């Protein structure tokens, strides 16, 4: 069954006329029933205020919550994972160099840098566990990584205790390295900085520390991208909020004009007070846009934390602490992400997100009470010449 085109056109025309009648203020010469008009506004305006408040509060709160999660847990956790991996690889190189000295390493020890970096890696893993950025399964995987790191240290200690026996020493060092990183299939080669290559594997072969840390980084980086992406829910809520706010602003203006002509009120102060929160909408919108842009920049920093960092860069920074920081340093990338998130907001609006919806609901109640009072006043006190 097809609907005639004339019926569709008539329905659309009628809807547009009703919308125009609602948005555009009535002329003073039009004879409207005061009580009917006030009753319609008493229902429509508070309803628009409630819809606008809930939609705006939810969408703005989601954007702010995403920025807070990126700043408080996700980005620091990515930095700690990268720091743990780089620290372990630097410690492994230091252990190999120290163990190469032979019997003297039993007395002098492997070296302060090895101890510093292994301790730093353990602390970074603990910070990731406390960050709250990981799921339950990822927390269990992180516990496995921590256990492997402890076993790695035990095998390095075994190699140190047997430094005088080249076979036992090399066996301990080789087994420790196999726990840290899968040896490449190609003949061994040395990457820049003297560090052997260590490409993470995936699937059933991903059993080493670096493989597992890389998998955690990939999962966490995906959640960072999800946080930075404007989802369909936020987009729909923003669209609903924009339409409701526009209708509410025009409806309040039209009601003020009506009250001025029919009730001889220069301005209704309660309705003007209910309209004041609309002035905050441009600031909330600007804050949300800044937050979205900052979140997109953090996605780039998160990718660089996993792909551009290297033990050679971190090792050079240790050797030359006063030198200009390399842009690929973990600390530099983390600072850039924090700076972007700090700039991606209006500081005056910190803490405003939970109050958006209650403020809108309060305005809706104020609008309803004001129009109800005007309507009761008109019903009980008949003015000479007033429309029925």
Categorize the per-residue pLDDT at 97 as very low, low, confident or very high, splitting at 50, 70 and 90.
confident
Q: Is the pLDDT of residue 381 over 50?
A: no
Listing DSSP states for 285-332 in one string gives: HHHHHHHHHHHHHHHHHHHHHHHT--HHHHHHHHH-TTSPPPTTSHHH
Contact 211, 200 (CB under 8 A): yes
Q: Is the pLDDT of residue 383 over 80?
A: no
Work out the pLDDT band at 248, boundaries 50, 70, 90. Answer: very high
Over residues 13-48, the pLDDT tens digits come to 655 555 555 544 444 444 456 677 788 888 999 999
Residue-level pLDDT at 39:
82
- Find all residues with CB under 8 Å of 102, minimum gap 6, and list them: 163, 164
User: What's the CA gap between 354 and 367, in Å, rounded?
Assistant: 21
Percent of the chain with pLDDT over 90: 54
Using the structure block, give the residue that is written with the tokens 């956790």: 77
Can you give the pLDDT at residue 148? 94
- How far are the Cα atoms of 26, 263, 383 from residue 39, in angstroms, in the given order? 15, 15, 18
Alpha helices per DSSP H over the chain:
5-23, 34-69, 75-99, 105-108, 112-131, 136-161, 166-180, 209-228, 232-262, 269-275, 281-307, 311-319, 330-343, 353-380
The pLDDT tens digits for 195-230 are 778 888 887 778 899 999 999 999 999 999 999 998
pLDDT tops 80 at residue 147 = yes
pLDDT at 377: 65
What was the pLDDT predicted at 386? 47
Per-residue pLDDT tens for 236-247?
A: 999 999 999 999
- Give CA angle at 283 (50, 339), nearest 5°: 125
Q: Give helix 136-161 / helix 209-228 axis angle, nearest 10°.
A: 150
pLDDT band at 376 (very low <50, low <70, confident <90, very high): confident
pLDDT 10s digits, 160-186: 888 778 888 889 989 999 999 887 655
pLDDT at 320: 83
| CA distance linking residue 252 with residue 38, whole number of Å | 12
More confident residue, 18 or 382: 18
Band of the pLDDT at 367, cuts 50, 70, 90? Answer: very high
Check residue 201 and give its pLDDT: 84
pLDDT for residue 122: 95
CA–CA separation, 327 vs 324, rounded Å? 9
Share the mean pLDDT of the chain: 84
pLDDT of residue 94 exceeding 60: yes
* pLDDT for 378 beyond 80: no
DSSP line for 344-367? SS-GGGTT-HHHHHHHHHHHHHHH
- 287-334 pLDDT, tens digit per residue, is 999 999 999 999 999 999 988 888 988 988 888 878 888 888 999 999
Q: What is the mean pLDDT of residues 123-143?
A: 95
Q: What is the pLDDT at residue 144? A: 95
Per-residue pLDDT at 370 exceeds 70? yes
Per-residue pLDDT at 170: 87
Instruction: Report pLDDT for 244.
Output: 95
Distance CA 139, CA 145 (A): 10
């Amino acid at each position: 069954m097809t609907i005639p085109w004339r019926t569709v056109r008539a329905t659309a025309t009628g809807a547009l006329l009703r919308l125009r009648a609602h948005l555009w203020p009535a002329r003073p010469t039009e004879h409207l029933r005061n009580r009917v008009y006030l009753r319609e506004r008493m229902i429509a305006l508070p309803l628009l205020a409630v819809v606008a408040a809930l939609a705006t509060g939810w969408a703005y709160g989601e954007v702010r919550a995403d920025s807070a999660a990126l700043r408080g847990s996700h980005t620091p956790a990515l930095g700690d994972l990268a720091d743990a991996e780089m620290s372990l690889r630097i410690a492994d190189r230091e252990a190999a160099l120290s163990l190469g000295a032979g019997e003297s390493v039993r007395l002098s020890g492997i070296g302060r840098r090895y101890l510093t970096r292994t301790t730093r890696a353990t602390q970074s893993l603990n910070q990731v566990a406390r960050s709250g950025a990981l799921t339950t399964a990822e927390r269990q995987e992180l516990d496995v990584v921590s256990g492997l790191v402890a076993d790695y240290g035990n095998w390095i200690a075994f190699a140190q205790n047997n430094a005088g026996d080249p076979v036992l020493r090399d066996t301990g060092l080789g087994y420790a390295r196999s726990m840290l990183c899968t040896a490449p299939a190609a003949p061994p080669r040395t990457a820049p900085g003297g560090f052997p290559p260590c490409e993470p594997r995936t699937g059933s072969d991903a059993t080493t520390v670096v493989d597992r840390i890389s998998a955690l980084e990939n999962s966490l980086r995906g959640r960072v991208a999800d946080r930075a992406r404007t989802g369909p829910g936020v987009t729909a809520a923003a669209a609903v909020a924009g339409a409701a706010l526009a209708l509410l602003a025009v409806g309040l203006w039209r009601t003020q004009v009506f009250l001025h002509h029919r009730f001889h009120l220069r301005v209704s102060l309660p309705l003007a007070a209910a309209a004041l929160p609309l002035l905050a909408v441009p600031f909330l919108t600007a804050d949300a846009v800044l937050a979205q842009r900052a979140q997109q920049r953090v996605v780039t920093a998160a990718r660089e934390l996993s792909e551009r960092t290297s033990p050679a860069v971190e090792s050079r920074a240790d050797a030359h602490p006063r030198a200009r920081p390399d842009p690929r340093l973990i600390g530099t990338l983390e600072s850039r992400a924090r700076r972007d998130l700090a700039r991606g907001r209006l500081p005056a609006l910190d803490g405003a997100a939970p109050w958006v919806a209650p403020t809108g609901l309060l305005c809706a109640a104020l609008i309803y009470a004001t129009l109800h009072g005007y309507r009761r006043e008109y019903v009980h006190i008949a003015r000479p010449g007033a429309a029925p």
